[in-house]
Structure 1
Amino acid sequence: MPSSVPSFAELLGRCQRSAVHLEMRDAYAPTDRFEAWKRGERINWDDRQSWWHSYDQLISDTVARGVEIRRARVVSEPVSEYIRWEHYVTHANVTAGEQVRWLPRRLATDIALPGNDFWAFDETLLRVHHFDGDGTVVEDEITDDPSTVKLCVSAFQAVWERAIPHDQYRI
C-alpha cells in the first residue's frame, strides 16, 4: 500500500521560508555508513564526489532558493557512539547548507519537548517521525494541527536558543 505521507523532497520543495528538524534520540537504527565508521573507515572530506549524496544536493538546492534549514539535536552526555558518529558526519549537513546545533540533555530539563522527532516546514506543517525501540522508523505522520505545530515549533526554538553551534560543540 503506498504511503499517504508526501516524500521529504516534496515537502521541502513546497517550503518557502524555513525547515527545522528536532532530533532527540541517542541512537537510531545502524546504517552501513555507521558500521563502516565503527570499523575505523573515515570519509575523505576533500573528495566531495565520494560522499555527496542526493540528500546533500536537495538541501543545497533548497538553501540556494532562500529556505533556512536548521537542525537541533538534544543529546545525552557523555554521548553515545552513534552520536559521536553523527557529529562526525554532520560535516556533510553543514557543507550542504544546514545550520546545526547540539544541546546537552541536562540543559533541556525545563523545555517542554514533544515525544517524537520532527521536521517543521514554514511553521505550518509537521512531519513527525515514529521509531521503534531500536531506532528504526516505523512510520511518518503529517499534521497541520495548529496547537501541535505551535508546541513543536516553540520547542525547537527553545532548544535552538540554548544549543551549541556544531563547530563549537566538542564531544
Structure 2
Amino acid sequence: MLTGEEFGRLFETFGTSAFRLETLAAYDVEAERKEFEGFLRGEPIPRDWAEDNPWVRSMTRQGKSVARVHVVRSPLSAYLRFEFAAYPGNIAAGESIGIIDLARGEVPGLPDHDFWLFDDARVLRMHYTDSGAFLGAEPLPDNRLAEYRRYRDIALAHAVSFAEYQHD
C-alpha cells in the first residue's frame, strides 16, 4: 500500500490525466479538520479553497486533466456539504467534477469503493477506516485496468455536473 509522500508523488508524476471515484459520505482528513470544524460552526471555508484550489491548479497549469465523480446519497452529510462548499475552487482551478446521487436512482456496475486512475494506465484502490481516515492506496495489477476504466466510464456517463446538481 502506498501512503504519505509515496502516494503524494503520484500527483506530481502522472502524465496527462487523473480520475477519482469517491464513494464515502465522510472523510476524516487531518489536514482539513480545523476547516471542517469551522465550517460546522458556520465559518466560511478558506478563500483559496473556495476560489482557486492551489493543489488542483498545480496539476492543471501543466496541462494535466483532473476529474472526479462523487457518488452520494442525499440528504448530504455535514462532511459532504463541507466538501461541496470547496468544489467551486476546484472547478475554477480546472477540475471536472460530476455527482451521482443514488437517492435519485441506483447506478448498476459501480464499485463500492474509491479509486484513482492515472493516465488510463495505473489504478489504485483507496482504503479507509470506518470513520473515513485514509489507510493507503493499493496499486492494482494491470489486468484490472479494463475493469476500472469501465467503472470510470459508467460513472462519467451517469454523473451530472456539479453545477447542474446544485441547481436541481
Instruction: Report the TM range for the smaller structure's normalisation.
Output: 0.7 to 0.9
If the length of structure 1 is used for normalisation, what is the TM-score? 0.81
Q: 2:146 maps to what in 1?
A: 150
Calculate the aligned-residue CA RMSD, in Å: 2.6
The sequence identity of aligned pairs, in percent, is: 24
Residues 7-156 of structure 1: pairs in structure 2 closer than 5 A: 7-8=7-8, 10-29=9-28, 31-43=33-45, 45=47, 48=48, 51=49, 56-106=53-103, 109-143=106-140, 145-156=141-152
Q: Indicate conservation of the 8 Å contact 2:107/2:158, yes or no.
A: no
What's the CA shift string for 1:14-68, capped at 9, x where partnerless?
22221101001111126221111010001364xx4xx58xx93342132122221
Q: Indicate conservation of the 8 Å contact 1:5/1:142, yes or no.
A: no
3-state DSSP of counterpart to 2:6: coil
How many residue pairs are counted as aligned between the two chains? 162
What's the offset of the Cα at 1:6?
Answer: 2.5
* In structure 2, distance between residues paired with 1:105 and 1:116: 14
Equivalent position amino acid for 1:17 in 2: T
If the length of structure 2 is used for normalisation, what is the TM-score? 0.83
What's the CA shift string for 1:98-119, capped at 9, x where partnerless?
1111111245634322242111
What's the offset of the Cα at 1:3?
Answer: 5.2
* In structure 2, distance between residues paired with 1:149 and 1:108: 27
Q: Indicate conservation of the 8 Å contact 1:21/1:72, yes or no.
A: yes
* In structure 1, distance between residues paired with 2:142 and 2:82: 35
Q: Indicate conservation of the 8 Å contact 2:14/2:119, yes or no.
A: yes
Q: Indicate conservation of the 8 Å contact 1:113/1:152, yes or no.
A: no
> Which region of structure 1 is more displaced relative to structure 2, 107-116 or 71-80?
107-116
2:37 aligned with 1:6: no
Contiguous gaps of at least 5 residues in structure 1: none
